[in-house]
Amino acid sequence: KSLFFAVAYVILIFGIQHFMKERRGYKLQAPLTLWSLSLALFSAMGAHRVWKQMAFILSTKGFKQSVCSPSFYVHPISKLWTYLFVLSKLLELGDTVFIVLRKKQLIFLHWYHHVTTMVMTWYSYKDMVAGSGWVAVLNFSIHAVMYSYYTVRAAGFKVSRFIAMAITFSQMLQMLAYVIMNILIIFWREDKVCHTTWTIIFFSFMLYFTFLGLFCNFFFKTYL
């Protein structure tokens, strides 16, 4: 299903972009503000809920189990928020619709990151692979800040360039953390509680390295 949504997403956004080519962009200030605010609040709640489970595992079982433990798929609260996290990757594709309807620049990093993250997240959840707890908690945390920033910007307020710079830098660190975690998972793979598949490892490495490269390129071109 994720591949179906991925293909539909690409067709839709470039179809809308073509449709808008000879038309004036819509402002959509109020809808965009509400959209960003909703995702900011959702991400903040998700970060709070998943961090509680993460903190418990770290304090009682240590870092290795925080990566390998399947409790994020089992514990009632973290299970719910992990599932909602996965579903949110589909919802977040709506970000791109606002970009093309407003005739803003659609960069490769944006749509590539959105569509591949959705596919990878859905497959990882289906196979209940190790590391998903950290993926969710870091992503929720950064998105809570990022969508809050988008909300303020969409509402028409000026925000310090430093905040945008810090958000992008945090995304770079996030991808680096995922790469390191993947390396650890390979070493811990023989552990019966550290489940993953070579397919997930291969594609996640490919995605995280490309994300890291793209975010670094964006950071240096935009802020330096």
Q: Give the active site residues.
A: 113
DSSP state of 191: S
The C-alpha atoms of residue 113 and residue 211 are separated, in whole angstroms, by: 7
Question: At 61, phi and psi to the nearest 5?
Answer: -125, -15
The C-alpha atoms of residue 84 and residue 45 are separated, in whole angstroms, by: 11
196 in Cβ contact with 129 (< 8 Å): yes
159 in Cβ contact with 153 (< 8 Å): yes
13, with CB counted inside 10 A (0-12, 13-18, 19+), is buried
The C-alpha atoms of residue 106 and residue 170 are separated, in whole angstroms, by: 21
Tokens representing residue 178 in the block: 């995922």
To which residue do tokens 């809050």 refer?
A: 148
211, with CB counted inside 10 A (0-12, 13-18, 19+), is buried
To which residue do tokens 């997403």 refer?
A: 9
149 in Cβ contact with 33 (< 8 Å): no
